[in-house]
Amino acid sequence: MEFPTDLMYTDNDEWIRVEGDIGTTGITDYAQDQLSDIVYLEIATAVGERLEKGETLAEVESVKAAAYVYMPVAGIITEVNEELADTPEMVNSSPFDEAWMVKFEIIDPAELEDLLDATAYEKHCQEREH
């Protein structure tokens, strides 16, 4: 199980990579492992849309369950990973790289302070195991 230290996390298993004022997000290795084989993915937003923190940005469905992916912080969508709809299994094989879902302009950097670092997120995952 990977918990890259250069990312920040939500307790709902999204990760966010911050580069300047642009954020990139997807779901974590732990999340894809819990869901198992992902068979369907739909990005529920489009370039130019403004989403608030906690709004749905995508829906994933595995052979076991369906889950929503939420915005870790508020942002204006600048890019959408169109490829994922055709290759949802990339979420299983490369959750932190190839399976990024959207990129967005971060509206309020202060919101980043509420997110978890890798250590805190790993602890959060371990707690749920029990």
Partner 1 sequence: MAYIPHTDEDRRTMLATIGLERMDDLYDAIPPDVRFPDLNLPDPISEMEIIGELRALSEANLEVQHVSCFLGAGAYNHFIPSVVDHTIRRNEFYTAYTPYQPEISQGTLQAIYEYQSLVCNLTGMEVSNASHYDGATALAEAVILALSQHRGKRGKVVLSPAIHPQFRQVVRTYTQGMGLTLVGDESLDNGVEELAGMLDKDTALVAVQYPDFFGRIEDFSKLGEAAQEAGALLCVVVNPLALGLLKPPSDFGADVVVGEGQPLGIPLSYGGPYLGIFTTRKKYVRKMAGRLVGETVDSRGQRGYVLTLTPREQHIRREKATSNICTNQGLMALATTVYLSVMGKHGLPKVAELCYHKAHYAAEQIAALEDYSLWHDGPFFHEFVVNCPRPVTEINDRLIDYDILGGYDLGQDYPSLENRMLIAVTEVNSKEEIDDLISALKEITHD
Interface with partner 1 (CB under 8 A):
40, 42, 44, 59, 61-66, 68
* Cβ proximity to partner 1, 3 vs 70, nearer residue: 70
* Cβ proximity to partner 1, 7 vs 60, nearer residue: 60
Residue 117: CB minimum distance to partner 1, A: 30
Evaluated on CA atoms 39, 84, 18, 51, the torsion sign reads negative
* Cβ proximity to partner 1, 43 vs 118, nearer residue: 43
Evaluated on CA atoms 22, 57, 3, 112, the torsion sign reads positive
Backbone angles phi, psi at 19, to 5 degrees: -130, 105
Residue 113: CB minimum distance to partner 1, A: 30
Residue 74: CB minimum distance to partner 1, A: 18
Contact status, residue 52 vs residue 71, Cβ threshold 8 Å? yes
